[in-house]
Structure 1
């Protein structure tokens, strides 16, 4: 019997939240956002919503199917769950590592070259900001292209692990994609977790140096963002005159804390996202619209 692919109960971060009834949300449009941000330098905080136009679905947009991302406790505590996860990730990797930046990523890279954007703090692990040419990027939740051993702390590339997993599981990806299905047809989460079920025969790989457990170098639910990375992110926020938030519902504190920090310091905060976010009451302007088109239009006005 295969282990459950998702938590049986929601974690704290997954619980539904609603804006308090007395919250004041300053809704506006691109012109309103541009008036707030013009002649200012920006730090940008991004989430999964900026990558949807690159073919990577998000977790919490109004049209997204319900998902409960894997927890750290599940990964380290259950051999069967790890096998199930690595099988799904091995298929999802085929999709995510072939994705490309979209216009939203490219706009932010261009604004950095122009000196408008100081840098990007991203909650994504897809590296599309770097691929688009952004130079100052803090990958808050890690990177999907690296794997770490939980015992000896060695880091290897995900591409190298893919070669080992292919050798251990010849024909596995092809067996998942039978009947003319392609990787693009399979639902893939932002952490490269593909929605497949037939995983009981998959063989995961241990660390080739010490035999320890391998884990993607990604911060999972129930795990803390490294303290030094958080410090650098706060410094990046403080180095700018305003904070622009794009494509995140700010459901988890790892991103929301930067909005709270900026608002407490009196910095203008502009939030661009489809649907409500936990940062809306703190925003100077909230633009309820698609990220790519909004960032493109905003760049033309800055």
Structure 2
């Protein structure tokens, strides 16, 4: 007998597949329970997260350029150069802000969908309700812990791995970036406020040079954390999305039906693993929201996630 979720051989000595945890005899997706397509949304979210991570670099590392601009302004006694540098730093931050907001919306929707899908996967053990997949990102203080717990739960039940090491790396880097960026930004604002608004002497121009020089080191910490968090989260999104979409494509009826009968999946034979497919299975509509195949009334119950 083979597991209908992962295709591994199962043993009567165990009540569930030792690889993916699906109860013996249960389909990959519980009939009648909605399952949401996540591949396309996951790709969009991954692109948005990657774009936000990359677009953060120009504004974060602007002090490297700011040092040169401040020195040129000191040599030429040109206050307009300093003003231009301040405006340029703000303009470089705007694309990152737009990408960040886009990524935030897509990630929240993706998190809800992949968490909701667990309810259609026999053997999955959700630890938090699907509402927390949204509220966890938005509720103050809860957003320090809840998103990581939800994603760790989804990763465990979607990737069939007990280890959530990559989730830990992503969340630790995200927290370092979140707190580090705020602290550095506040510190920079306080130092900039102490600068002479309209420098006249060489000494006053040199304070701008020192301002940018002193800003380089502290900004490296949130910058590195941002890149680590972005890369690790992109990998998580793609892996989880691919695994869930593949499981939905493997959905088969919960009771035996002969090959060729209406509703029988291509390549399906009772007692044998379903063959993987590269595209959507006949049971999964191309609509963004799909439901697992319906079955005729009869024996063979299902276990909800």
Q: Could you tell me the TM-score, scaled by structure 2's length?
A: 0.31
Q: Could you tell me the TM-score, scaled by structure 1's length?
A: 0.31
Give the helix-richer structure, 1 or 2: 2
Structure number, greater radius of gyration: 2
Give the strand-richer structure, 1 or 2: 1
